[in-house]
Amino acid sequence: MSLSPGPDERASARLADLTWPEVKAAAADDTPVVLPVGATEQHGPHLPLATDALLAERLGVEVAAGLGLLVAPPIAYGYRSRPLSGGGEGFPGTISLSGRTLMALVEDVLSGLVASGFHRLILLNWHFENSNFIYEAAWLAHERVRNPDVRVIVIEAAFSELSPAVMDALFADEFPGWDAEHAAVLETSLMLHLYPTLVHFERAIDDGAALRPGYDVIPIPAELVPQSGTLWKATRASAAKGELAWGEIVRRVHDALAFELTRSASTSPARKPPPGAKAAR
């Protein structure tokens, strides 16, 4: 009896949907793997705690469809929420990791993927505060596995600059800066487009901290925390804005990965790029 996947088996972009023989075959085919990283964090009175994790995984799955990637189970907890970019730690339901824990978790997962035979890994982050920690974890994992074939790509998917046309459609002339955009126009619009049943838009409000200095204070002063957890104008969101922004975000991540995966395959010391349509695999 063969343990290889049969030709009629349903393909899935999600690593967790596969059996171990299918994973073995995918690794042997040099399939890249995306690890989405989000958070469990308050997003105002209108968006779910899972917003960051949902958007990170959905982005990974949509990009995977065009590039032949696998998407690992997302990391749904992130580094602690800072008041001026996430509202802070005081809201019920916000469950955060220390930087040390997050780095250890990401490092272990990346190392486990390498141990399963994968060599091209992508960290896809959708939580502002995770950034430096997951980069360090990627660095440490690469040092730990000591494998010259391994490549790790780190992409900050959230709050990267969009085209002028999309920025104008989202904000007109009132863009507050990405740090203040938590649970506001972009994320609310994306959730209205992708997960409308999880959005309580009737509860969306325009809010913000009474004081926004260019520095942090510990312990956190009350005037740095908006009462609702929304850092700007959530009522200006719409599903149409979300559809426009999401299309551009998916295209940008797709194009970046198509370029980098093809380049990394062609420059790998021990591997050659697969032929034809599978050039990004």
Position 272: which residue type?
K
DSSP state of 163: P
When pLDDT is cut at 50, 70 and 90, the band that residue 243 belongs to is: very high
Concatenated DSSP letters of 15-71: GGGS-HHHHHHHHHTT--EEEEE--B--BTBTB-TTHHHHHHHHHHHHHHHHHT-EE
Residue with tokens 């740095």: 224
Give the active site residue among 62, 107, 187, 207: 187
Tell me the longest C-alpha to C-alpha distance in the chain.
67
When pLDDT is cut at 50, 70 and 90, the band that residue 275 belongs to is: very low
Closest CA to 185 of 235, 228, 225: 235
Taking the C-alpha atoms of residue 260 and residue 279, their distance in angstroms, rounded to an integer, is: 11
Catalytic residue list contains 243: no
Closest CA to 209 of 184, 232, 187, 186: 232
Catalytic residue list contains 62: no
Taking the C-alpha atoms of residue 6 and residue 4, their distance in angstroms, rounded to an integer, is: 6
pLDDT the model gives residue 271: 52
pLDDT the model gives residue 192: 98
Residue with tokens 């596995």: 145
Is pLDDT above 90 for 6? no
What average pLDDT does the segment 3-28 reach?
78
pLDDT the model gives residue 276: 38
Is pLDDT above 50 for 156? yes
Give the active site residue among 129, 142, 181, 193: 129
Element (H or E) spanning 156, and its range?
Answer: strand 151-156
Give the active site residue among 119, 142, 182, 193: 182
Is pLDDT above 70 for 53? yes
- From residue 158, give the alpha-carbon distance in Å to each of 36, 118, 131, 179, 263: 12, 25, 10, 11, 24
Taking the C-alpha atoms of residue 152 and residue 211, their distance in angstroms, rounded to an integer, is: 39
What average pLDDT does the segment 106-135 reach?
97
Give the active site residue among 41, 57, 107, 207: 41
Give the active site residue among 127, 142, 193, 254: 127
What average pLDDT does the segment 139-143 reach?
97
When pLDDT is cut at 50, 70 and 90, the band that residue 160 belongs to is: confident
pLDDT the model gives residue 280: 41
Taking the C-alpha atoms of residue 221 and residue 17, their distance in angstroms, rounded to an integer, is: 45
The answer to whether 267 and 242 have CB atoms below 8 angstroms apart is no
How do residues 59-108 score in pLDDT, each as one tens digit? 999 999 989 999 999 999 999 999 999 999 999 999 999 999 999 999 99
Give the chain's domains with CATH numbers: 27-264 (3.40.50.10310)
Catalytic residue list contains 142: no
How do residues 24-42 score in pLDDT, each as one tens digit? 999 999 999 999 999 999 9
Catalytic residue list contains 43: yes
The neighbouring-strand residues paired with 153 are 122
pLDDT the model gives residue 273: 46
Catalytic residue list contains 89: no
